[in-house]
Amino acid sequence: MTKIKPLTKEQLLIALDRLTRFKNPEIKYLRVFKEILTGNLMMPKFKKTELDKMPYERIRNLAQEIINFSLCKLNIKTENDGLINQRLYEYETNTFNLNNDTETLLKNNINYKGCLELIGENPVLNLKWLQHLSISKDITTDRENYSLRWPVEKVIIAEGITEETLLPEFARIAGYDFDKNGVYIISAGGKNQVVKLFYKLSKELKIPIFILMDNDAEENFKEITPRLRPFDSVHILKCGEFEDALPLELMNRTLANTLKNISMPEFVTAKTSMVKILEEIFRHKGMHEFKKSEFAQMVKENLQSEKDISPEIAEIINKIKQMSAISKVVVDN
């Protein structure tokens, strides 16, 4: 006998969001399913150690029973036609290298069609994509028409938040929209983390990975090289950090609109990195500590046209645009 505490609407939406994020399917499905079993399966009651030893098929069956029961308790009567389930399965198996156990988790009978009734207006992109999976004849065309990002076809690993914030904006201005073309960018949080993340993703993913590294990452590139696949690509910045690739005119405009009475040239000296210059400007103005994430947002708000795209940034965008099952690794120094 099974006794279930129904998931609330909010809990169902959180689960739905987490199940459709760009993440290793085995990790995300097991985590979501086990949390549901721990919190909402009243009888039989399982300990975490018991769940860790439980066959994936039973975990899947119990979790989908709880989810579908919860939908019924919310008076959602929509019958599932299995279309979304099949499309999610095809997407995950085409994107990730999966074992048979993980495929078992994906072959579920969750009433995704009923779940769509929980999603409000202007949802996050992965849930917007989920909505289109139920009605679209060609999901790739829908991705291009509605800037859905999913299905993801290319992944960019960058060192920092500046690249993650600004590179999609530069690309959009240049006529290559990441969300329309299924490009997913991840900030690794440093050059050493880039290596670790690439090691992980190159094992998990079937799709191309573009790696963007600062000029001082030669040793890290040597670590990456043996594991590069034929369709992966690397760009090592010529200028230093990504901030050094930003046009001076764009930087001046950003500072002028944010910090008054500042002339950037007076702070610029030979071979001084842009980050060091910005740190000095913020110190000079008596402001809080310079933070790359905040300044990237300032720059984003001041982007105007293709004139704000430096030659090297344009080169990076072009490499990403052209990257598709290439026959050899492309490395720019």
Whether the predicted pLDDT of 200 surpasses 60: yes
pLDDT at 282: 84
Question: Are residues 319 and 179 part of one domain?
Answer: yes
Query: Cα–Cα distances in Å, from 252 out to 92, 96, 247, 257, 264?
Result: 44, 43, 9, 9, 6
Q: Encoding tokens for residue 94?
A: 């085409």
Both 56 and 182 in one domain: the answer is no
User: What pLDDT is stored for residue 273 in this prediction?
Assistant: 87
Residues 291 and 154 in one domain: no
Q: For residue 208, say if its preceding peptide bond is cis, omega within 30 degrees of 0.
A: no
Report the alpha-carbon distance of residue 181 to residue 153 in Å, rounded. Answer: 8
The last residue of a domain, from among 85, 114, 145: 145
Is 77 in the same domain as 194? no
In what helix (H) or strand (E) does residue 154 lie, and over which residues does it extend? strand 154-158
Say whether both 296 and 211 belong to one domain: no
CA of 222: how far to CAs of 100, 309, 320, in Å?
34, 29, 21
Please spell the DSSP secondary structure of 246-308, one letter per residue. S-HHHHHHHHHHHSTT--GGGG--TT--HHHHHHHHHHHTT-SPP-HHHHHHHHHHT--SGGG
Answer with the one of 145, 175, 205 that is the final residue of a domain. Answer: 145
pLDDT-derived band at 268 (thresholds 50, 70, 90) equals low
Whether 317 and 175 map to the same domain: the answer is: yes
pLDDT of residue 173: 97
- In whole angstroms, give the CA distance from residue 215 to residue 73: 57
C-alpha dist (Å) from residue 264 to 65, 88, 258, 268, 273: 62, 50, 13, 7, 13
Residues 78 and 31 in one domain: yes
Would you state the pLDDT for residue 255? 87
**One domain, residues 319 and 281:** no
Residue 290 is predicted with a pLDDT of: 86
Domain that holds residue 136: 3-145
What local confidence, expressed as pLDDT, does residue 115 receive? 98
Got the DSSP string for 101-148?
HHHHHHS----HHHHGGG--SS--HHHHHHHHHTT-S-HHHHHHHHT-
Q: Nearest Cα to 190, choosing from 208, 206, 170, 212?
A: 212
Q: Decide if pLDDT at 327 tops 50.
A: no
Cβ neighbours, 10 Å, residue 49: 8
Q: Token pair for residue 220?
A: 């890290």
Among 84-93, 195-204, 248-257, 307-316, name the one with the lowest average pLDDT.
248-257
The contacts of residue 270 (CB under 8 Å, 6+ apart) are: none
Instruction: Mark which of 145, 163, 194 sits at the end of a domain.
Output: 145
Average pLDDT, the chain: 92
Write out the two tokens for 162: 């500046």
Reported as half-sphere exposure (CB side, CA atoms, 13 A), residue 211 has a value of 37
Give the pLDDT mean for 25-41.
98
What is the CATH number for 223?
A: 3.40.50
- pLDDT score at 326: 40
SS percent in the chain: helix, strand, coil, step 5: 55, 10, 35
Share of the chain above pLDDT 70, in %: 93
Number of domains composing the chain: 3
Binned at pLDDT 50, 70 and 90, residue 329 comes out as very low
Is a pLDDT exceeding 60 seen at residue 269? no
- pTM value is 0.92
Per-residue pLDDT, averaged over 159-172, amounts to 97
* 301 and 208 within one domain: no
pLDDT confidence band for 265 (50 / 70 / 90):
low
Q: What percent of the chain has pLDDT over 90?
A: 82
Q: Are residues 319 and 171 in the same domain?
A: yes
Q: Looking at the structure, do residues 53 and 180 belong to the same domain, yes or no?
A: no
**Shared domain check, 327 and 230:** yes
The pLDDT of 29-33, averaged and rounded, is 98
How many other C-beta atoms can be found within 10 angstroms of the C-beta atom of residue 9?
14
